[in-house]
Amino acid sequence: MKITFLWIGKTTESWLQEGIDVYVKRLKHYISLSIEIIPAPKNLPKQDMEKQKEIEGDAILDRIMPSDEVYLLDERGMSYSSEGLTMFLQEKMSASVKRLVLVVGGPFGFSGRVYQRANGQVSFSQLTFSHQMIRLLVCEQVYRAFTILRGEPYHHR
Amino acid sequence: MKITFLWIGKTTESWLQEGIDVYVKRLKHYISLSIEIIPAPKNLPKQDMEKQKEIEGDAILDRIMPSDEVYLLDERGMSYSSEGLTMFLQEKMSASVKRLVLVVGGPFGFSGRVYQRANGQVSFSQLTFSHQMIRLLVCEQVYRAFTILRGEPYHHR
């Protein structure tokens, strides 16, 4: 299985990018991982959230192949413990999923068409974190999941 | 009301420290905030988690005054939305709490005596994040809460 992290717009804070790089580098020892960054739409009238979600949504759908399994990071999604997330990944690998795409949306969330295409939604917290910080959390949790799978000592229980 | 973040051991990753600094600096515009760092216990036999929790726990209790309201960041605690966390902070301010202490423990969690003293526990996620990364999340969420209280545009809903 390959994993793709798909997200909208550059990570603008350098410290956040550095943290993401740390976990991505570690993760690549465990799995074939790619990050695809969709440029944030430009020149939109401010506050036109619906328009922004539609444009971002179409760009997300353009990157997705029919054989992909697509999960959205979304507050209203399914909550997991770290062990539960590990089982989720293990099940996807056992089911011979070719590519698992984890999508972190823009600041206003996803369009209806993206929800329709997605295989499911995953919630990392009831709290709202910045859509840029969620990227770091995704990288750390997927890394953690692989250390749990391998019985490595990163995760304490 | 004053807020104190109390945590165990230095933040060893420089990118994480940088992120924490960003939110702490912003937060100080809204509230009197201090960070107290308890040195991680040294020269302990490896794997002696209970001993480590006891030593850390005693050091936490030493820093706490009788008038403090103390909340532990703990996976088994109460979950909040960002709006819920904002209300929680607002209630503490309305109740004239002198100092609210938010404690992030060490890698193995808290001792029994710390649980006994605490006024409650707050869970940020069912997922386990590194105890160092939780610090960043606390800073970001408390900052977010104050922007919500002030009606400032950081938080999208």
Q: How far is CA A74 from CA A94, A109, B121, in A?
A: 25, 8, 24
Within 8 A of A129 by CB-CB distance, chain B residues are 137, 140-141
Task: Name the β-bridge partners of B35.
Answer: B5
The dihedral of CA A109, A113, A116, A117: what is its sign? negative
Task: Give the per-residue pLDDT at B41.
Answer: 82
Task: Kindly state whether residue B28 falls inside one of the protein's structural domains.
Answer: yes
Chain A CB contacts of B18 below 8 Å:
14-15, 18
Residue B154 forms part of a structural domain? no
pLDDT band at A155; cut points 50, 70, 90: confident
**pLDDT tens-place string over residues A108-144:** 889 999 999 999 999 999 999 988 999 999 999 999 9
Residue A43's pLDDT band (boundaries 50, 70, 90)?
confident
Residue B156 lies in a domain: no
User: Residue A156: is its pLDDT beyond 90?
Assistant: no
Q: Could you say which of B108, B124, B140 has the minimum Cβ distance to residue A133?
A: B140
pLDDT of residue B153: 84
Give the pLDDT band of residue A11 (cuts 50, 70, 90). Answer: very high
Q: Which residues pair with A113 in a beta bridge?
A: none
Residue A73: inside a domain: yes
Backbone φ and ψ of B100, nearest 5°: -100, 125
Yes or no, beta carbons of B125 and A125 under 8 Å apart: yes
Helix (H) or strand (E) holding A51: helix A49-62
B133 touches chain A (CB under 8 A): yes
The helix/strand/coil state of B126 is: coil
Can you tell me the mean pLDDT for A52-80?
95
Q: Does residue B16 form part of some domain?
A: yes
| ipTM attached to this prediction | 0.90
Determine the structural domain holding residue B73 and report its residue range.
2-149
Nearest by CB to B156, from A18, A81, A108: name it. A108
Token pair 């992290």 in the structure block, residue: A5
| Closest chain A residue by Cα to residue B125 | A125
Amino acid B44: pLDDT: 75
Structure tokens at A56: 């971002």
Chain A residues with CB-CB distance to B137 below 8 A: 127, 129, 133
Q: What pLDDT is recorded for position B157? A: 58
In three-state form (DSSP H/G/I as H, E/B as E, the rest C), the secondary structure along A75-141 is EEEEECCHHHHHHHHHHHHHCCCCEEEEEECECCECCHHHHHHCCEEEECCCCCCCHHHHHHHHHHH
Q: What are the φ and ψ backbone dihedral angles of A3, each rounded to 5 degrees?
A: -120, 135
Task: Mark yes or no for CB contact A127/B124 under 8 Å.
Answer: yes
Residue position matching structure tokens 């444009």 = A55
pLDDT tens string for chain B (157 positions)?
999 999 999 999 999 999 999 999 999 999 999 999 999 888 777 778 888 999 999 999 999 999 999 999 998 899 999 999 999 999 999 999 999 999 999 888 999 999 999 999 999 999 999 889 999 999 999 999 999 999 988 877 5
E strand or H helix at A143 = helix A131-149
* A124 is a domain residue: yes
Contact present, B89 and B40 (Cβ < 8 Å): no
B88 touches chain A (CB under 8 A): no
Chain B residues with beta carbon closer than 8 angstroms to that of A110: none
CB of A30 within 8 Å of a chain B CB? The answer is no
Residue B86 is predicted with a pLDDT of: 97
Distance of CA B47 to the CA centre of its chain: 25
Is B157 domain-assigned? no
d(CA B73, CA A104): 25
Amino acid at B50: E
Q: Which of B47, B125, B138, B144 to mutate to test the interface with A (most CBs of A within 10 A)?
A: B125
Burial of B11 (0-12, 13-18, 19+ CB in 10 A): buried
Q: Would residue A155 count as lying in a domain?
A: no
Using the Cβ of A19 and the Cβ atoms of chain B, whether some distance falls under 8 Å is answered with: yes
Higher pLDDT residue, A139 or A157? A139
Domain count, chain B: 1
Question: Is A102 in contact with A6 (CB distance < 8 Å)?
Answer: yes
Q: Is B127 on the interface with A (CB under 8 A)?
A: yes
Give me the pLDDT at residue B134, please.
Answer: 94
Q: For residues A135-156, give the mean pLDDT.
A: 93
CATH of the domain at B49: 3.40.1280.10
Does the beta carbon of B11 lie under 8 angstroms from any beta carbon of chain A? no
Q: Which residue has the higher pLDDT, A107 or B20?
A: B20
